[in-house]
Amino acid sequence: MNAATTPAINTADLYDERGDELASVALQFQSLGGRTHFSGQARTIRCFQDNALVKSTLATPGNGSVLVVDGGGSLGTALMGDMIAESAVANGWAGVVINGAIRDREAIAKLDLGVKALGSNPRKSAKAGAGEVDVDVVIDGVTIRTGAQIWCDPDGILVEP
Ligand SMILES: O=C([O-])CC(=O)C(=O)O
């Protein structure tokens, strides 16, 4: 399904339906993409101030997945900018959740992509490829595994364990 046919799921309504069988990430992410409600199967990356894996992963077919990047909460460098975000759109990713920073906020806000991140920083990341793909990541006490269903909107992030 594409964005036009996927119904927008409201996380508060979903929580009311399913309750604590879903984990809720309490950390306050900002909603920075042009798509405010997004969901899909998670893929994961753990990295620290190095975004080569983010770039290469978002250049592969997303098939409606949500890339969850645990950048260790660092706001010291941007893990995604508008070019990487455009590549995510072109490759069919539903969205990207970054426990860290992005840059090019204004351009990213116009893209048909869900983006949740802690904030922004114009400083770019290293490109050495340090990090791991499809490992379990823990964000604010919530474990997110590749393949887990995840729902995001301006209220927050829900994850199926
Ligand atoms: O290349 C980077 O590090 C991020 C960036 O600026 C972009 O995606 O446009």
pTM higher than 0.90: yes
Q: pLDDT, tens digit, for every residue of 116-131? A: 999 999 999 999 999 9
Ligand 1 pocket member 125 (CB < 6 A): yes
State the Cα–Cα distance between residues 92 and 109, nearest whole angstrom: 17
Determine the atom of ligand 1 nearest the C-alpha atom of 84.
Answer: 8
Q: pLDDT, tens digit, for every residue of 27-42? A: 999 999 999 999 999 9
Residue 4 tokens read as: 């036009």
- When pLDDT is cut at 50, 70 and 90, the band that residue 16 belongs to is very high
**Ligand 1 pocket check: which of 54, 67, 82 to mutate, most ligand atoms within 8 Å of Cβ?**
82
Q: Is 138 exposed, middle or buried (0-12, 13-18, 19+ CB in 10 A)?
A: exposed
User: What dotted CATH number matches 24-159?
Assistant: 3.50.30.40
